[in-house]
Every structure is written in structure tokens, then in C-alpha cells.
């Protein structure tokens, strides 16, 4: 059980989302939220407070009558529940709820404590609102997507519940839950923030970190297959550069390969003084996709780590407008809802993951092209050359998928389009950036799955099962439990999907 209290670490956040840890709300949070609510209720009398007694956006110049203030919030929620496209995956929606809950718990939003309680119940009971991918420009926060969350909290809209899409009303009746009653600004406070892009971002970072782990394991396995020399991953070489990501990648590769019988030392072969040929039969050094893994994956690792830090800061921040400051007895109007921090990080993340995908595609090509590896049959074909096709068909899939990610890696961050009668004249597009990054990450798992199947086929052809490192051997055994050794041609798509699922959920 995780208690929402002060600062929520990324690890604690992930435990709720990926390990289904339950949450509870501390008394300190409830007191803080109640103080904020009571202060705003009192302070807003005879004052002009945006979204409390004014219209929204460019309509803020219009005063709202006291008797219409609550209906104003319902109007906002219903009118902006206008998303389209595919539903966002429930795991990311759950992350969005937690991100919104955490920021509202800071006591800067003036919401009623009942809102905090109901959001907690949605998380603990795995009730995830139907939120669509399309709709947010990421400037007045994720207005459209968060409206769909708010719609559920007032008892309307739809949710995913026990794997099915159902009406909120039906699920609340089953679970004995009551919708919130809007009190002052619950609609605006729920919608005017960055929590959907942040929630998707947390899921993206979690998966991207897995991709780095798999990329390193697969890179190590390929170095074993070709009996590479170990100096390109040595501490001595990599420590001559000051980048911590490169050093960490090289260290992880050394640890992965420490009991391998296939990795060679240069001094035992090329430095022995026994090489007298004019043209060397063995490669003096490997292709870049094998030799430069620390230099390529290092900045990718650092990008993921930096993105994780930005996300942690964001879901622990007050990111709505206005900000209710009880300590200074003031209400501040500004733009904390602007999603530029997340938009830029999601663009950086998808560029990094695309580069990781490109590395996997080049490593795959190295294994499949017998003219460059010189140790494997074309397409790692264990059957009859010319009659069977080996991994030839799936290479097309890996190539086209990589190309799609390259195209998708153009930045969203710089694609601001003014809208909202030019009130929102420069926006972040952060939610779009997060959604597209998730697609790039999905693509990466597909390419790595194809690469991994090829690796185990190559190990079988070379008979290296007992010579690879213990980590590679475990990976080999687990994939062979999914994909049998095949010489005859197979229908490949079910195997690729199973290995992809293994990489995502392992």
C-alpha cells in the first residue's frame, strides 16, 4: 500500500501502475486539500477568479452568475469530452489518474476532498476511463483527454472494467461508488493540467528502459556469435570518454559477458606476433553496429534517465491554473498547464528509441547477410538454400517498421498551431508527442523480437549453446520455449508476436 503524502518517486509511481500496488490518502493530504478548498471558497467572493466566476479561455471576459457557477463546470466537462481515435491503453490512463491525483493532492487547486477519494478508488479498483488519443494540444493542459476523466468522475461517460468497455453508471453501481458533486472548480482543476501526457510518458519510459536492457543483451549475444574481441567494451577504452551513459553501457556488457567462452582478447590473437599474412582472414575490428554499442546506446540510456527525472518533477508539480496559494492567501494566474517540458522529452525519447531500433535493424542485417558476417548461411537459413527462406520474410517487416519509426521521429514539439480563438497562440502538442513516442516504442519491440529469433537460430547453426554466457544461455532457452528450431519454412507472425510479448512483459 502506497500512501499519497508528500513527494512521490518514479519507482513508487511505477509500483502502482505496473505492480498494481494500492494507494491510500494520508490525513495530511486531506487536511491540505480541505484548507485549499475552504480558502478558495472564501477568497473568491467579490473577486474575479478565472474559471470560478468567469468563462474559459477567450470567454474569460464574461462574468458567470453565482447561481450558474457549478453548472459552468459541468458544461466545461461535457463540451470538451470530444476526443477521437483509438482509446489510450488502460495502463497509461491509470498512470494519468495517478499523476492528476498527485498534483491535486498538493493543495494548490482548491478542489473538494471527495474528488481525491474517488480518484483513489478508480486506481485501486482498476476502473480506467475511456480516453482517446486525439484531442489534446497540450497547452491548457490535456483539456480534451482530461475531460473524459472528469466525465467519469461525475458519473458519466465510459470506462474499461475487467477487460470490458462499459458505461460509468453501470460500473459505479456494481462497485457501490458515487459520482462527485462539483463544488467550485473541480472541472477546470481536473482538466487544466499535463497528467495524460505525463501518464503516457511514465509508461513510455518504463518500456524504453526495458528496450535498453534487451538491446544490450542482444548486442552482447551477437558479439559472442562472431567471437568479437573484448577491447571495444573495456573499461580502459570507455573510461577515456567522460560520458556516464557510455561507461555504464560498457560495464553492463562486460558483466553480461564475463563467463562467455566466445569473446576473445586481442592480445591472444592479433597481438601475438604470429600474424604474418598480407591480407588478414579474420576481421581486425567489427562493424560499427557491434563495436560501437557503448557509444550508441550510452546517449540513449542518458536520454531515458533524464526523461524519467523530468516526468518525476512534473507529476509532483502543481500544473493547473490558477494556482491557489493558501500560505500567501493569494490566487495566481499563469501557465503551469503548459506541457513543453513533457513534449520536448517525449520527442527526445522517441528519437533515442528510433536510434535503438536502427541499431537492432543493422545488427539483424549483419546476421542475415552472409557476405558480411562470413560465418552464417544467407538469412540464417537452416534449411535448403534456394528452397527454404529462413528469416528472409521477417527482415522486410523489420525494415519497414524501422522506416516508420524514422518518419515518426520528426518532432511534435515545434508543430504548434494556434487555436482557441488564438488565446492558445503557442502550444506544446505534448500529448501527441507522448502518443507518437509510444508507437515508436511499440515498433522497437517488434524489431527486437525479429532480431532475437534470428540470434537463437544463429546460435543453433553454429552450435554455440554451451559456449555463450550464462545470461545469453538463459535468453536462448526462454526463446526456444516459445520458438522451436526450424529448418522448414514457418508462418512467422505468431512467433514474432509471442516473442514481442515476452520482451514487453518479461
Q: Which residues contact 357 (CB under 8 A, 6 or more apart)?
A: 401, 402, 405, 440, 443, 444, 447, 448
Q: Which residues contact 453 (CB under 8 A, 6 or more apart)?
A: 391, 394, 479, 483, 495, 496, 499
CA distance 376 to 58: 66
Q: Which residues contact 339 (CB under 8 A, 6 or more apart)?
A: 138, 139, 141, 142, 194, 197, 428, 429, 430, 431
Residues facing residue 358 across a β-bridge: none
CA distance 304 to 244: 13
Q: Are 93 and 128 in contact (CB under 8 A)?
A: yes
Using alpha carbons, select from 68, 64, 40 the residue that is nearest to residue 54: 64
State the catalytic residue, choosing from 7, 50, 108, 229. Answer: 50
Torsion, CA 445, CA 447, CA 449, CA 454, rounded to 10:
-160
Question: Cell match 478542489: residue?
Answer: 111
CA distance 269 to 429: 55
User: Interior CA angle at 452 toward 451 and 457, to 5°?
Assistant: 100
241 CB burial (10 A radius; 0-12, 13-18, 19+): middle
* φ/ψ bin of 317: left (φ > 0), alpha (ψ from -120 to 50), beta (otherwise): beta
CA distance 96 to 29: 19
Using alpha carbons, select from 29, 185, 31 the residue that is nearest to residue 111: 185
Residues facing residue 203 across a β-bridge: none
Measured in Å, how far apart are the chain's first and last C-alpha atoms? 24
- Concerning whether 50 is annotated as a catalytic residue, the answer is yes
Q: Which residues contact 48 (CB under 8 A, 6 or more apart)?
A: 54, 63
CA 94 to the chain's CA centroid: 13
Residue numbers annotated as active site = 50
Amino acid at each position: 500500500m502506497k500512501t499519497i503524502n508528500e513527494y512521490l518517486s518514479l519507482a513508487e509511481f511505477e509500483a502502482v501502475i505496473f505492480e498494481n500496488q494500492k494507494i491510500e490518502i494520508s490525513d495530511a493530504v486531506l487536511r491540505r486539500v480541505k484548507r485549499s478548498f475552504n480558502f478558495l471558497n472564501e477568497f473568491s467572493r467579490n473577486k474575479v477568479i478565472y474559471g470560478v466566476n468567469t468563462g474559459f479561455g477567450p470567454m474569460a471576459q464574461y462574468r458567470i452568475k453565482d447561481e450558474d457557477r457549478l453548472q459552468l463546470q459541468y458544461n466545461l466537462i461535457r463540451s470538451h469530452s470530444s476526443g477521437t481515435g483509438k482509446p489510450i491503453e488502460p495502463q497509461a490512463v491509470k498512470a494519468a489518474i495517478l499523476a492528476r491525483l498527485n498534483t491535486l493532492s498538493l493543495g494548490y487547486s482548491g478542489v473538494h476532498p471527495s474528488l481525491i477519494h474517488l480518484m483513489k478508488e478508480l486506481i485501486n479498483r482498476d476502473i480506467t476511463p475511456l480516453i482517446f488519443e486525439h484531442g489534446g494540444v497540450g497547452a491548457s493542459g490535456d483539456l480534451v483527454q482530461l475531460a473524459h476523466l472528469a466525465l467519469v468522475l461525475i458519473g458519466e461517460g465510459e470506462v474499461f472494467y475487467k477487460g470490458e468497455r462499459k458505461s460509468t453508471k453501470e460500473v459505479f453501481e456494481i462497485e457501490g461508488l458515487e459520482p462527485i458533486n462539483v463544488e467550485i472548480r473541480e472541472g477546470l482543476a481536473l482538466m487544466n493540467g499535463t497528467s495524460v501526457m505525463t501518464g503516457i510518458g511514465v509508461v513510455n519510459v518504463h518500456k524504453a528502459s526495458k528496450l535498453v536492457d534487451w538491446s544490450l543483451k542482444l548486442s552482447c549475444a551477437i558479439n559472442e556469435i562472431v567471437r568479437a574481441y573484448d577491447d571495444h567494451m573495456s573499461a580502459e577504452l570507455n573510461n577515456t570518454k567522460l560520458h556516464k551513459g557510455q561507461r555504464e553501457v560498457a560495464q553492463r556488457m562486460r558483466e553480461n559477458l564475463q563467463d562467455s567462452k566466445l569473446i576473445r582478447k586481442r592480445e591472444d590473437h592479433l597481438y601475438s606476433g604470429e600474424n604474418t599474412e598480407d591480407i588478414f582472414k579474420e576481421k581486425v575490428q567489427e562493424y560499427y553496429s557491434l563495436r560501437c554499442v557503448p557509444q550508441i546506446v550510452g546517449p540513449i540510456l542518458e536520454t531515458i534517465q533524464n526523461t524519467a527525472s523530468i516526468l518525476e518533477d512534473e507529476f509532483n508539480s502543481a500544473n493547473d491554473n490558477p494556482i491557489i496559494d493558501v500560505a500567501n492567501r493569494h490566487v495566481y494566474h499563469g501557465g503551469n498547464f503548459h506541457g513543453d517540458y513533457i513534449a520536448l522529452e517525449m520527442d527526445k525519447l522517441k528519437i533515442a528509441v528510433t536510434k535503438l531500433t536502427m541499431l537492432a535493424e543493422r545488427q539483424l542485417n549483419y546476421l542475415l547477410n552472409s557476405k558480411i558476417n562470413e560465418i552464417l548461411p544467407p538469412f540464417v537459413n537452416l534449411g535448403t538454400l534456394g528452397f527454404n527462406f529462413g528469416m528472409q520474410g521477417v527482415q522486410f517487416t523489420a525494415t519497414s517498421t524501422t522506416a516508420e519509426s524514422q518518419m515518426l521521429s520528426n518532432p511534435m514539439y515545434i508543430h504548434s498551431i494556434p487555436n482557441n480563438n488564438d488565446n492558445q497562440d503557442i502550444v506544446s502538442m505534448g500529448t501527441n508527442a507522448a502518443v507518437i513516442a509510444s508507437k515508436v516504442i511499440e515498433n522497437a519491440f517488434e524489431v527486437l523480437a525479429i532480431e532475437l529469433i534470428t540470434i537463437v537460430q544463429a546460435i543453433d547453426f553454429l552450435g554455440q549453446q554451451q559456449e555463450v554466457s550464462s545470461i545469453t544461455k538463459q535468453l536462448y532457452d526462454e526463446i526456444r520455449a516459445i520458438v522451436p528450431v526450424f529448418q522448414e519454412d514457418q508462418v512467422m507472425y505468431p512467433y514474432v508476436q509471442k516473442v514481442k510479448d515476452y520482451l514487453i512483459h518479461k
